[in-house]
Structure 1
């Protein structure tokens, strides 16, 4: 009888401890993800580029300082995020093996062609692949926006990247205003860029 009672108490204690651990794990994960920025995604359903409906986005309520980093581009030149202070930045994390990233790239190129003479800087940070994989991919597709290499994924880790593509929209003071996880079309990108003016 005593053994059965002790076994029941131990079982209840183990279940309670497991539930506590899981709930703390979930809340710490959400704290980590929200510490970079709180996301306000597209307000209206994503529309095709050829749709007549307007796509709108809202900036986050709390601006978060973007974490500075220094990475090399495809020519070996170093670029720091802090070098771009005073400009708006569309910061995109991607990889050549990622189908949604590859689908999004032509839209980023269209945006680049439309905005290359403006104060917007587009930076695509390629995660985890070597130069000899990334450079031919960019050249073969004739992409002209700035591509930086994050071979050890240190910058992706700083930005808590858990899935790609993920994009951050950074204002002229270096604050993250909005974040979008997943692929976008050019209308969605433009809607997020407009939030940098507010």
Structure 2
């Protein structure tokens, strides 16, 4: 009985690692960044159309190596300053999509902060793009946890749709020429993030 309970616990922990975002279904345009999807067909058909808030469902982990140009965007940070992705040419970019309501995203945040503290004087830029939440909610969350990396607000979810985000957290790793080199869906620890960043130098 103990072995059965232990096995069930492990399955639930792994299964709960990633949450899907389905509120893009009506507005999402085809994206150049869609890669092989391990989400089951049953999950894809289970969409909550009665609410504008993203819904959470279980999906599989998807890691892909891709090489394509990252679409430019302009978003404001928590201080109202506008940032353009194209302005970061010549720097490596770790682009992460997240939300405060997402448990795996929140679990990943301390790892991102650790990476930021280790690399803040390097040529790596970390951008954490919050999807569809009010400034006040996001700022409160960031301030309460003393996070220092750059947070951007995708209030109308346009950028998330452009990048084909169907699950969060989802991360893109962009080289100095503005090419997306790899993508990771699901939470990561700092060591995993560093491995992807190493790939930007190849």
The answer to whether TM tops 0.5 is yes
Per-residue Cα deviation, 1:97-123 (whole angstroms, up to 9, x for no partner): 000000000000000000000000000
Displacement of 1:93: 0.1
Q: Distance in 2 between matches of 1:116 and 1:106?
A: 15
Could you tell me how far 1:188 is from its partner in structure 2?
0.4
Change (3 A) 1:89 1:37: farther
The 5 A counterparts of 1:61-140 are 62-140=66-144
Looking at secondary structure, tell me which structure has more strand per residue. Answer: 2
2:161: which partner in 1? 157
Which one of the candidate residues 162, 168, 190 is aligned to 1:186? 190
On the 8 A contact 2:97/2:170 being kept in 1, the answer is yes
Structure 2: gaps of 5 or more residues: 1-29, 37-62
CA drift at 1:38: 4.6
Rounded Cα–Cα distance in structure 2 between residues aligned with 1:147 and 1:71 = 10
Higher helix share: 1
1:192 Cα deviation from its structure 2 partner? 0.3
Describe the superposition over 1:80-102 as per-residue Cα deviations: whole angstroms up to 9, x where unpaired. 00010000000000000000000
- Any stretches of 5+ residues in structure 1 without a counterpart? 1-31, 40-57
Aligned-residue offset at 1:36: 1.2
After the TM superposition, list the runs of 4 or more consecutive aligned residues in structure 1 that deviate by more than 6 angstroms.
Answer: none
- Kindly indicate whether the alpha-carbon contact (under 8 Å) linking 2:92 and 2:176 is maintained by their aligned counterparts in 1: yes
User: Greater CA radius of gyration, 1 or 2?
Assistant: 1
Residue 47 (structure 2) aligns with: none
Q: CA deviation at 1:59?
A: 7.8
The residue correspondences of 1:16-27 to structure 2 (distance < 5 A) are none
Q: 1:36 aligns with which of 27, 33, 37?
A: 33
Count of matched residue positions in the alignment of Structure 1 and Structure 2: 147
